[in-house]
Amino acid sequence: MFNLRGKVALITGGSRGIGRAIALRLAENGVDVVVNYVRHKKDAEDTAALVEKAGASCLVVKANVAKEEDVHAMFGELENRFGRLDFLVSNAASGVLKPAMELTERHWNWAMDINARALLSLVQHGVRMMQSGSRVMAVSSLGSVRAIENYTTVGASKAALESLVRHLAVELGPKGIMVNTISAGAVDTDALKHFPNRDQILETALSRTPLGRLTTPEDVANIALFLCSDLATMIQGQVITVDGGYAIRG
């Protein structure tokens, strides 16, 4: 049921962290992978090498998912190389970490374009290569439903992302395309290093997680693999939280 050989996945922000973990987990189960990146070329190439070591093919594409022309060009490369798309993982994320009173219109638009609007653009381009049984997954965070210090633009954009997933699930469901959100708890990735209170976030998450450890990128990747499998054919428009129980502590 996890033999996905012959399938093709596009993972945005796939060069590091959660994106890399998803790329590798899918590759280990036979999926050929398109790794998208915008700045970290060496990391993307390292991920591609690991994907190919796992026995899958890999295409590395530089594209800013907030720019329509980049997304258009990326799908052109994907279609030329593979001619199909089975799994679309919208993982690329960015945002400015500032108090709400210090935010500008540019900060707001930047986070919304990359973290939310990009999913719509990706689906609009990708759906023509997707068949019944294809999957769309968006990676979100607990900040979509919780107030986190300095997380205003990112949290708001993740909430918009989750709402968009629900609307896409209704619209694409009749086509047999499953659309869901994976919401990760506190994961110690490079992105978290930009938080001035990183250590406090991790310590609090660890102390309040019933299972007694932090969420890893591999934990998130395991859920992505599950959602790609035949075990998940009746899961639609849902937010699956991967946090060891942290969110239930209030």
Q: What is the domain partition of the chain in residue ranges?
A: 8-240
The CA distance from 97 to 92, in Å, is: 16
* Whether residue 227 has pLDDT greater than 90: yes
**Residue 37 known to be catalytic:** no
Least confident span in 53-67, 80-94, 95-109, 189-203: 189-203
Q: Which CATH number fits domain 8-240: 1.10.10.10, 2.40.340.10, 3.40.50.2020, 3.40.50.720?
A: 3.40.50.720
51 is in an annotated binding site: no
pTM to 2 decimal places? 0.93
Could you say which of 42, 158, 175, 193 is catalytic?
A: 158
What separation in angstroms does the CA of 207 have from each of 89, 192, 244, 245? Answer: 30, 18, 11, 11
**Residue 158 known to be catalytic:** yes
Could you say which of 151, 175, 193, 246 is catalytic?
A: 151
The CA distance from 20 to 190, in Å, is: 12
The CA distance from 162 to 34, in Å, is: 23
Backbone φ and ψ for 18, nearest 5 degrees, come out as -65, -40
133 is in an annotated binding site: no
The CA distance from 202 to 95, in Å, is: 19
Confidence band for 44, pLDDT divided at 50, 70 and 90: very high
Q: Which residues pair with 178 in a beta bridge?
A: 135
Q: What is the pLDDT of residues 173-224, one digit of tens each?
A: 999 999 999 999 888 766 666 666 667 778 888 888 999 999 999 999 999 9
C-alpha 118 chain-centroid distance: 11
The CA distance from 47 to 117, in Å, is: 26
Confidence band for 53, pLDDT divided at 50, 70 and 90: very high
Cβ atoms of 36 and 92 within 8 Å: the answer is: yes
187 is in an annotated binding site: yes
76 is in an annotated binding site: no
158 is in an annotated binding site: yes
Beta-strand ranges (E) seen in the chain are 8-11, 32-37, 58-62, 87-90, 135-141, 178-184, 239-242
For the chain, the average pLDDT equals 93
170 is in an annotated binding site: no
216 is in an annotated binding site: no
Neighbours of 238 (CB within 10 A): 18
The CA distance from 178 to 192, in Å, is: 29
Query: Angle at the Cα of 218 (from 43 to 196), degrees rounded to 5?
Result: 65
* Mean per-residue pLDDT, 129-158: 93
